[in-house]
Structure 1
Amino acid sequence: MTDAGADAHLVLHQLFSPAFPTGGFAYSHGLEALVAEGRVTSAADTAEWLDAVLTHGSGWSDAVLFAHAARGEEPLALSDLAAAMAQSRARRAETLRQGAAFAGTCRAVWSLDLSDLALPVAAGRAVHLMGLPVGAALPLYLSGLVATLASAAVRLVPLGQSAGQTVIAGRIALCADVAARAECAPLDEIGGFAPIIDAAAARQEALPVRLFQS
């Protein structure tokens, strides 16, 4: 639980800040392959890619998993589902390694009884254990995902810092919309259709030179 009198929203901002030590800076979610192939070359391309991640890719699925974990559902089964839905070896490592880092930090800082789980499940479980509001947590989780991936784009495309922040700002409303729909979505609505993103994540593993682990 959070300390008595602690502001829940400030705790949520700490949990889902890109500065929270999950190692997210090391992963591009397959973007590195798209940049290397000349398919993402601008801020507009980056924004389109992020929109697809949020609405048709792992952003939506992770949001649903997060919501179910935050309501206190069995976390191990949810984590197994998250790992099974990863479309490549690197993407599976991305969610499991970041989830383990997230859980380890939560154990160290707040003494939570939180096992190593896939990232969206670990994050949702932490919200449940700390008694934090799911409706406020979920859009922050998604905006943190956008900020992390936009940071990768700033380095890879490359984008200027102002362009990167403009891309992030343009996704705020979409994060809120996806979060609102995912908060009440049953598990049978999980999944999406983002073959370009999934194939790029698989091809990224075979790049002869790469900066990111996924």
Structure 2
Amino acid sequence: MSVSLMRLMQLTSPSLPVGAFAYSQGLESAVEIGLLTDLASSRLWIKNIMSQGLARLDVPIFYRLYRAWQALDEAELRSLNAQIFAQRETSELQAEDAHMGGALSRLLIDLGMTEAALWQRSEQLSFTTMFALAAVKWDIEINQAATGLLWSWLENQVAAAIKLVPLGQTDGQRLIGQLLEDIPALLVMAQQLPDDEIGSCLPMLAILSAQHETQYSRLFRS
């Protein structure tokens, strides 16, 4: 096993101290109003966000960030980072990305990545931007890194569904097994997406994320 592959495992591990476990990205509100009640409805929700959200926004921008980090093109990096935040449709989604991006930047600085220090004071620093930096510095192949980015999001969403719907552990593994089969095709689409087609369109996610900010009883952070 190569060191870069083990680094990818480190970067996508649930133990990575960035706080991803604290967020549900609208899933908690979807359960609250009865949209998610079982394995089938949970699969449809997560599948749609992965295909119409991450694969059309985070992943295509990740590919561009990866190449910009290789070229040390700071102007392009800042433009792409700003583009991600411009498409976070609620204050909750922006706060989540900024919190996780800031946490990952601090971790990478502690691990000797001096490039992250230049971004530490940024109020809006995307997790995807720092994930791309780590992938480049650790020599993780670009498609493997993109797979890891999607995988870590999927695993976190399934973990939230297990707690909230609730689903059993076996159903959680069944859900991961079904949805990970979509990842290769989504990566191909993300690589081929032209600049003017990058962007997600998930109005229900935005509505539920906004509602979650004031939801009376919740397990996940807003």
Count residues with an aligned counterpart: 210
1:10-25 correspondence runs (5 A): 10-25=6-21
Partner of 2:136: 128
1:30-52: per-residue Cα shift (whole Å, max 9, x none)? Answer: 01111011111111111111111
CA contact (8 A) 2:10 2:16 kept: yes
1:184-209: per-residue Cα shift (whole Å, max 9, x none)? Answer: 43332211222112211111112112
CA contact (8 A) 1:69 1:128 kept: no
Inter-CA distance 196–10: structure 2 relative to 1 (3 Å threshold)? same
Query: Structure 1 residues 137-146 or 67-76, which shifts more?
Result: 67-76
Which residue identity does 1:209 align to in structure 2? S
TM-fit CA distance, 1:110: 4.0
TM-fit CA distance, 1:136: 1.0
CA contact (8 A) 1:68 1:124 kept: no
1:48-70: per-residue Cα shift (whole Å, max 9, x none)? Answer: 11111111124431111111111
CA contact (8 A) 2:60 2:198 kept: yes
In structure 2, the residue corresponding to 1:170 is in which secondary structure? helix
In structure 1, the residue corresponding to 2:59 is in which secondary structure? helix
1:98 to 88, 100, 108: 100
Percent identity over the alignment is 28
Distance 1:83 1:213 in 2: 19
1:85-120: per-residue Cα shift (whole Å, max 9, x none)? Answer: 101000001111111111221221243422342011
1:21-100 correspondence runs (5 A): 21-72=17-68, 74-100=76-102
Partner of 1:187: 195
1:178 to 181, 186, 190: 186
Distance 1:62 1:7 in 2: 25
- Where does structure 2 lack aligned partners over 5 or more consecutive residues? none
CA contact (8 A) 1:88 1:202 kept: yes
2:150 to 142, 157, 160: 142
RMSD of equivalent CA atoms: 1.7
Query: Structure 1 residues 130-139 or 26-35, which shifts more?
Result: 130-139
In structure 1, the residue corresponding to 2:174 is in which secondary structure? helix
Which residue identity does 1:33 align to in structure 2? S
1:169 to 149, 172, 177: 177
Distance 2:195 2:109 in 1: 27
Matched, 1:212 2:220: yes
CA contact (8 A) 2:7 2:138 kept: no
Distance 1:17 1:178 in 2: 21
In structure 1, the residue corresponding to 2:115 is in which secondary structure? coil
In structure 1, the residue corresponding to 2:108 is in which secondary structure? helix
Which residue identity does 1:103 align to in structure 2? S
What TM-score results when the alignment is normalised by the length of structure 2?
0.88
CA contact (8 A) 1:27 1:212 kept: yes
Which residue identity does 1:186 align to in structure 2? P
1:102-113 correspondence runs (5 A): 102-113=104-115
Distance 2:114 2:145 in 1: 17
In structure 2, the residue corresponding to 1:70 is in which secondary structure? helix
- Where does structure 1 lack aligned partners over 5 or more consecutive residues? none
Inter-CA distance 30–77: structure 2 relative to 1 (3 Å threshold)? same
What TM-score results when the alignment is normalised by the length of structure 1?
0.91
